[in-house]
Structures are given as C-alpha cells and as structure tokens.
Amino acid sequence: MTFDYIIVGAGSAGCVLANRLSADPAISVLLVEAGGPDTRFELQIPAAYSKLNKTAVDWGFWTEPQSALNNRRMYQPRGKTLGGCSSTNAMAYVRGHRLDYDDWAALGNPGWGYDDVLPYFIRSEHNEQFDQLDALYHGKSGPLNVTFATHYQTPLAGAFLQSCRQTGIRENKDYNGAEQEGAGLFQFTIKDGKRHSAATAFLKPIINRPNLTVLTRAHTKQVLLQNDRATGIEFVTGKNQTQTATARREVILSAGAFQSPQLLMLSGIGPSDTLHRAGVVVKKDAPGVGQNLQDHLFTGVSSLCSQRGISSNFHLKPINQLKALGSWLLSKKGPMTISPLEAVAFIKTETEQDRPNMQLHFAPAHMGDDYTVDMYDLDTWPTTDGYIILPTLLKPKSVGYVGLRSANPLDAPLIQPNYLTHEDDRRVLIRGVRQALDVANADGFGPYRHRVQTPPDYSSDDMIWQHILQQLETVYHPVGTCKMGTDADEMAVVDADLRVRGIDGLRVIDASVMPTIVSGNTNAPVIMIAEKGADLVLGLKPRKSSNIQAIA
C-alpha cells in the first residue's frame, strides 16, 4: 500500500488532517486508527461521557506512582476510537489565553502567536450563537459545531454565576472572545443534542472520498526509516497480521501526547539511554522525545443540595435514567443532551498575574464525601442531589515525561507526570480550593445549598492539602512531549513547521507539540494545531485575519 501521506491516529488532530489533506483529489491519504469505528451508542449522548471510560473505546492508561500524592497511580483515559478524545471527553470548547500562544512564538516558534493562530480557530468553528458573539473571534462556516447548552440547563448554573459575582469574579459571556477572565456558561462541541466529535465534524462527511483510506483496529508498531527519512509505517491489524504502508511524501504522527513520543521511541528516535534500556536500536538520539509532559489537575469542592431533583445526580437513579434517555431518543432534549459540566470561571489566585492561573469547572453533580467514588465511573456516584466546583491548576510547574516499558509496541507507554512535585503548584492549588470554597459558600447558592461536604475541614491549609491528596485527579490534558522549538534547543523535537528535527518526511501534529500547556481545556487548541498543521504540510501561506484585538 502506497499513499502520499500517512496519518497515524484518527483522533482530534488526525480527523482534521484527513479532511484537509484529502480535499485535493490528486493527493492520496491513509488514516490509521488503533481503535474501532465510533459506533458505540453512548458516544452520541453528551451525558454518557463517564460511561465511556474503562471500556473498549478507552486506552485506560495509568501513571507511575506519584511521590507527592502518597504514591497514588492516576488513571489516564484516552480515546480509542474514531475521533479519539473528542469522542470521549466532556466536550468543553476552550481555546485558552492569548498569551499562551504569544509565549509559543516568543520561544522561537514564528507563526504560532495568537494573531497567527486565531484564523485557524475561526476556520474550524461553526458557532450556533455567532450572531450573539463578537464576530472578530468566531466562525460560522466551519465543520465543528460549538454551542452553549441550549436544550437543558439546571438552575444550579445560574446560582454558580451569581455566587461568582458575589465573590468578585465578574461575568464573562464569552471566554473565547476578547477576554478570558471571568465566569460564564461553558461552550461545547454539541449539535442537536448529540456529541459533535472531530470524527463527526471532519471525517464522516468526507470518509467516502476515493483518495482517502481509513483503517481501524490497525495498531502502528513503528515508523519505517531509511537514511534519516521516514518512508512509511509498520502496523498490526485486528487479525494480528503485520503489514506495511509506504508514504511518498510524509508520515504524520497524530497519536497524542502519550503515544506520539512512544512511536518515535519505538522507531529509534528518542533519548539514547531510554532506547538502550528498552532494547530499541538508536537511529536518532533525540533527548527531548517524551520529555516536557504537562497536564492539568483538579480537585473537588462538593456540596449537598437542599432541594431534590435539580442536579444530575437525580438522573442517575435507574428510573430517572430511563426517562431521560427516552426524552433524548424522542426529541434530543432533556438532561442527556448536556455535558457533565455547565459553567466555568477563569480566575487569578494573585491579582498581579498576567493571566488566569485557575479554572473553576462547575458541574451540577457531586461525588459524595467518603472519597471512594470513582470520578470516571458514574455508576459509583451517589443519587442524592448535589453540585461540585473543581478548582483546576492551569499553569503547572511540575513537569514529567513519557518513556518506554519495553520494545513491544502493544505495551502501554510509561507515564510519569510528577504531579505536584513543584511546591508552587501545591500552594496555588490550595489557594484555588479556598476561592472555590468562597464561591460555594456565597449567597447565590443559598436556595440550593444544604451544606458543603468536601473538604470536610478547611480550617487550615494542611487540612485542605489532605483533601487534595485524596481527591486530586487529572483533567486528562497531557501535552508537550514532542515540543516545538528552535535548533538551539536540544529538547525541541519538532520545528515551527512541526517537522521532526533530523528526520525528513516526518511530522508530529497533535497536543504533544505544545511547548507549554494552554490555559484551559485542550481539545480546541489541538484542532487548531491540526488546521494550521495541514496548511504547513501543503505549503500554503498562513491564513490572515482582521481579528487583531487581544485576549486579555
């Protein structure tokens, strides 16, 4: 099998690339996905998000023991189906802060400043509320549907926003617009009450193009190299048959922040000591491959409701689940049409900061008070009404790495994020919990609040830290493990055109190329990276925009 381009990974980035590269009928494209088709029923239902974890559509990775967290191993869900994590995530559409991208450019990556990337955000977006928002920042003709939750909303979302205002957090109706800071309703990748994944938006409409071949249940084993040039891939099919595919022009890795570096290392591109230990022949010593792992973390400030039937917990009761499912099946309305999240606030823990460093996710559901609930398994959640504020560390200073467990490509990668090993991360997260507690105790929640139940004791920072140790979870936003940078930076894996340094015909286009993590959920930035990456692959001129106002 020979193609012009081979894309490894049909996740958020891979689906975009397949669409854009195959738009020219003279270009042949192979898209290879280890998971199966996205036919699982729950993939369509926004509220069924947590039903997808630890299933066949989830890689189900785990970290190494975390020394700062009493040696806890942290669960790392990753989408394993067409659409990747866009098919299994909470559907939040968050671009981040202008300065995140200006930082990338300042690190020696021309073309990646905010004014450079904004046109690519706009290109992908079809915003249902376009006429109500600032057109300088939004699109209405892109494939990806973005919307506020219009089919269903609990009264708790309004209570959260009112409580934010009462504690000094101003209202912001569009955190993807001129300013990020403030509190507002979430924007989601949902359409007509159904999840709108990258597969649904970018791949399904064009999947029958004769110049596009999509292989599912095809696990890539390595990139084939010849004289420092990528010539194709080797993969194993669901029938356990090893096959090869040849690329005339380029191989593009879009396997995500864990598996793109793993594939590079399995192919002999990576830190020589890591490769030697795993028994992999070194073809290119690249010390930065797998390094620079960054991720977002959150913990919960959970409250019990004084009223019944108003939170998502109510719909976890079997009879109520059936009613909600019936409403979704008949009309695509009701509580099944929403993400587990409803509202959000981007805040600063210190006023002199140049951008928010804390994100308060708000969900109209709670997880109980005994720390035994599995955040990623709704079947373990209580059915009593409640709500939760999740203070999220946006700019962690703790940095980890991805390595190899062995030379076996079917083994999971070794994931060592080193969570909260930097003292500043602990301090900032404790402050974030205190700010979340201020919101939880504000009068806006008065009609609905029975009591704050976690943390059970917040009389001191030590008690808050004990709470964090027990309930901290990843938001599963890993990035940075194939970071872009200049030739002067030996830890840079790709250049500003996303080409792997020292290897011709090989690019990485996904979350792993971010040199620093963005200030918010990562799916929208990954789709932007793929939009821009497609233009880079095709040698097109950068897209321009009149959208020059700053996100501040």
Q: Which residues are catalytic?
A: 477
CA distance 275 to 476: 26
Residues 6+ away with beta carbon under 8 Å from 70: 469
Torsion over CA: 309, 161, 91, 412 (sign) = negative
β-pairing, 291-293 vs 297-298, is unpaired
Cα–Cα distances in angstroms (integers) from residue 345 to residues 439, 520, 530, in the given order: 11, 11, 27
Other Cβ atoms within 10 Å of 117 Cβ, number: 27
| Angle, CA 182 vertex, CA 180 and CA 183 arms, to 5° | 115
Residues 6+ away with beta carbon under 8 Å from 463: 455, 457
Three-state secondary structure string covering 45-64: CHHHHHHHCCCCCECCEECC
CA distance 418 to 405: 17
Beta strand segments in 158-215, E:
182-185, 187-188, 190-191, 194-195, 212-215
CA distance 385 to 382: 8
**Would you mind telling me the total number of residues written for the chain in this entry?**
552
Question: What is 217-260 written as a DSSP string?
Answer: SEEEEEEEESSSBEEEEEEEETTS-EEEEEEEEEEEE-SHHHHH
Three-state secondary structure string covering 396-451: CCCCEEEECCCCCCCCCCEEECCCCCCHHHHHHHHHHHHHHHHHHCCHHHCCCEEE
Other Cβ atoms within 10 Å of 182 Cβ, number: 20
Tell which residue, 167, 422, 410, 444, has the closest CA to residue 266: 410
Tokens of 451: 């009591």
313 three-state secondary structure = helix
Host H or E run for residue 159: helix 155-166
CA distance 330 to 323: 11
